[in-house]
Structure 1
Amino acid sequence: MRSLIPNTLTSLNLVFGMCSMMATYQGDYVFGAVFILLALVADGLDGRAARAFGVSGELGKELDSLCDLGSFGIAPAFLAYSYCLAFYGRLGQAVAIIFALCGMWRLARFNVNADVVHGYFMGLAIPAGGCVVATSIWLFSLTGTDATILLPCFPAAMVVVSYLMVSGIHYPNFKGDGGEKIYFASKVFALLVFAGILYLGREAIVPAIFLGVFGTYMLFGVFNYALHLVSGK
């Protein structure tokens, strides 16, 4: 019975993912994006609940990965396709499929390397990647941005996010366990990026804040890892 609560939270992750796809199908891109963020909340709570009740196990891990693929791989890809990528025909379909496939690959690699990689995340985590897509569409929808003016920038950005998920870039996990070094220049860079996103999205400040958080983290990891490679430390 103790596993019921964490497993319910894990299942709620996928429930929100399905709600996102149904909202997207009905043309409601705001709720299509918001449901993905709610899935992230459920995803963050299930692990904490499992540890609190002492019921962490292999079944929970498998359920978590399957739900993550649906909520942060397939749902954002469908949202992006419906909102913008469909204008590209077959190419847009390919971009959406690539995003979902890269998310699947990212989850599989994480599961395999869970006992090997410590102190950082290898590649952008799929929840972060999915939320970058979701929050950007949320912002565009509330500001009345015409999807056609995003071409070809949005499809290119989707491909970049897809690549970052399967890349070897080290993203700090901020757990304080002696992981990836965070440079001062990276902190300044992150502050500037976050401020820039808030300024550009000031007409819809709530989604701008969420996009600022996820977008800044995505770019911060790239910048910080580049400094690590240059410094050789």
Structure 2
Amino acid sequence: MRNIIPNMLTAFNLILGVFAIIASFHNNFFYAALLIVAAMVADGLDGRVARHFQASSDFGKELDSLCDLVSFGVAPAVLAYVFMLKDFGLAGWIIVALFATCGALRLARFNVDATKIKGYFMGLPIPAAGCVVATFVMLDIKPSGWLFPVMITLFGYLMISTVKYPDFKGKGEKLRFVPATITLVVAGYILYLIPQSILFVSFFAYALFGILNTLFSLFD
């Protein structure tokens, strides 16, 4: 019985992801993006609830990964496609498939390496990647040229990269002053230009900080 509540939260994550896909096909981009962010909240709660009830299990971990793939791999990819990538023909198809595939690879690597890597995430976590895409679409800004496809491709790659991201659970990758300062300046500038972008900036800043922090670690 103790497993029911966390597993229900995990399933709710999946349901929200499916709803986001449906909303995307109906061109309800804002609500689709909001559903993906809500799925991230459900995803964050299920693990905490499982630990509270001492109900962590291998079944729950596998279910969580499957649901995450839908909500943060497939749903954001579909949202990005219907929002703008459909205008790029076959390239749009390929980018959508790559993003979802990178999400699957990211989850598989996390499941295998979870006991080996402590204190940081290897590669951008799939909820963050999915949410940075979703919250950008939420702004209803359509960049000119190939900027949007390149952005989706970049965040897909970051999931399978060796860039180290803080997990905020204690000792881990060193948080460096210069990368943090640059990230704050960039985030502040975007917020100055687009005040309503606070959700996007939150996820984008996390993605950017990981890149900068890893680059600066090469000079330690």
TM-score range, shorter chain: over 0.9
Q: Which residue of 1 aligns with 2:190?
A: 197
Cα distance between partner residues in 1 of 2:144 and 2:109: 32
Secondary structure of the structure 2 residue equivalent to 1:230 = coil
Q: Which residue of 1 aligns with 2:198?
A: 209
Deviation at 1:200, TM superposition (A): 2.4
Q: Which residue of 2 aligns with 1:226?
A: 215
Q: Which residue of 2 aligns with 1:155?
A: 149
Residue 176 of structure 2, aligned match among 167, 174, 183:
183
Q: Which residue of 1 aligns with 2:134?
A: 134
Secondary structure of the structure 1 residue equivalent to 2:137 = helix
Secondary structure of the structure 1 residue equivalent to 2:219 = helix
Cα distance between partner residues in 1 of 2:209 and 2:168: 13
Secondary structure of the structure 2 residue equivalent to 1:55 = coil
Deviation at 1:187, TM superposition (A): 1.8
Contact 1:120 1:170 in 2 (8 A): yes
Contact 1:30 1:138 in 2 (8 A): yes
Deviation at 1:196, TM superposition (A): 1.7
Deviation at 1:172, TM superposition (A): 1.3
Identical positions, percent = 48
Q: Which residue of 1 aligns with 2:34?
A: 34
Deviation at 1:199, TM superposition (A): 1.6
Q: TM-score, normalised by structure 1?
A: 0.93
Deviations along 1:104-157, one digit per CA (max 9) or x if unpaired, are 000000000011011110000000000010000001x2xxx3x3x433100001
Cα distance between partner residues in 2 of 1:70 and 1:179: 29
User: For residue 165 of structure 1, what is the amino acid of its counterpart?
Assistant: M
Deviation at 1:167, TM superposition (A): 0.3
Secondary structure of the structure 1 residue equivalent to 2:42 = helix
User: For residue 216 of structure 2, what is the amino acid of its counterpart?
Assistant: L
User: For residue 134 of structure 2, what is the amino acid of its counterpart?
Assistant: A
Secondary structure of the structure 1 residue equivalent to 2:121 = strand
Q: Which residue of 1 aligns with 2:93?
A: 93
User: For residue 101 of structure 2, what is the amino acid of its counterpart?
Assistant: L
Cα distance between partner residues in 1 of 2:191 and 2:5: 37
Deviations along 1:40-74, one digit per CA (max 9) or x if unpaired, are 01000000000000010100000000000000000
Listed as ranges, the gaps of 5+ residues in structure 2 are none
Contact 1:10 1:46 in 2 (8 A): yes
Residue 166 of structure 1, aligned match among 145, 156, 160:
160
Distance 1:134 1:181, change over 3 A: same
Cα distance between partner residues in 2 of 1:131 and 1:7: 22
Q: Which residue of 2 aligns with 1:107?
A: 107
How many residues are aligned here? 220
Secondary structure of the structure 2 residue equivalent to 1:150 = coil
Cα distance between partner residues in 2 of 1:201 and 1:109: 36
Runs of 4+ residues deviating >3 angstroms: none
1:124 aligned to 2:124? yes
Cα distance between partner residues in 1 of 2:76 and 2:62: 21
Listed as ranges, the gaps of 5+ residues in structure 1 are none
Contact 1:193 1:212 in 2 (8 A): no
